[in-house]
């Protein structure tokens, strides 16, 4: 799959933004299989020729859209962990879970792509890098505010906790578009207990 052709001029960037916004909006009511470049172009108010100037196909459009979401995921972690920290570490993790839950509730197309989107191989490295960056920001906040030891073990647990939290978010919204509140609350609890559990023995 060809990558997106990066626009250089402001007008071109605006057209790309419209294409991505149109794709996200269409995904609220249209399955990925039924989504086509003609439909996206019409929704974005551009010609099909203009669309193909920037994207090779619909997979390239969705990949670019997902990458923009991944960037926002890192920004959420940066924002939440940069704010004054709550008294308990579990409350910090709950704030993070709540912020990411809002993505499922409010971001057009986000939930459909999460559950029904294509598995795009080129996004694997981007997703892994995003998880590492989120885990790093959480780790630094826990070290700064909650006496988390700054060790390889605690960093390893942080990466696993992000993976667990992501899967629990997916479970919470699988059958409920507003999210299962008990699962969301348990996600923060489970992550907190795991992150601060005694180190595992190497014996």
pLDDT given at position 11: 84
Which string of b and e fits 39-68 if b means at least 16 CB within 10 Å? ebbebbebeeebbeebbeebbbbbbbbbbe
Residue 159 confidence (pLDDT) above 90? yes
Domain 10-194 top-level CATH class: mainly alpha
Q: What is the mean pLDDT of residues 75-79?
A: 97
pLDDT in tens, 95-151: 999 999 999 999 888 888 888 778 888 888 999 999 999 999 999 999 999 999 999
Number of residues assigned to the chain: 203
pLDDT given at position 203: 46
Look up residue 71 and give its two tokens: 């960037």
pLDDT given at position 1: 45
- Are 47 and 94 within 8 A, CB to CB? no
Which pTM value belongs to this model? 0.88
CA dihedral 137, 140, 143, 148 (to 10 degrees): 50
* Share in percent of the chain as helix, strand, coil (round to 5): 70, 0, 30
- Are 51 and 43 within 8 A, CB to CB? no
Helices (H), 45-88: 48-54, 58-82
């Amino acid at each position: 799959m060809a990558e997106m052709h990066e626009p250089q001029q402001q007008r071109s960037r605006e057209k790309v933004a419209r294409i991505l916004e149109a794709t996200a909006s269409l995904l609220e009511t249209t399955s990925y299989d039924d989504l086509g470049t003609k439909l996206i172009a019409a929704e974005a108010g551009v010609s099909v020729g203009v669309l193909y100037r920037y994207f090779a196909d619909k997979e390239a459009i969705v990949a670019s859209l997902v990458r923009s979401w991944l960037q926002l995921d890192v920004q959420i972690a940066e924002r939440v962990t940069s704010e004054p920290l709550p008294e308990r570490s579990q409350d910090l993790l709950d704030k993070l879970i709540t912020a990411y839950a809002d993505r499922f509730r409010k971001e057009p197309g986000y939930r459909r792509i999460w559950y029904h989107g294509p598995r795009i191989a080129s996004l694997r490295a981007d997703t892994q890098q995003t998880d590492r960056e989120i885990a790093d920001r959480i780790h630094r906040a826990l070290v700064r505010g909650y006496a988390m030891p700054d060790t390889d073990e605690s960093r390893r647990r942080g990466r696993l906790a992000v993976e667990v939290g992501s899967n629990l978010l997916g479970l919470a919204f699988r059958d409920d578009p507003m999210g299962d509140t008990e699962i969301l609350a348990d996600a923060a609890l489970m992550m907190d207990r795991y992150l601060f559990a005694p180190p595992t023995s190497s014996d």
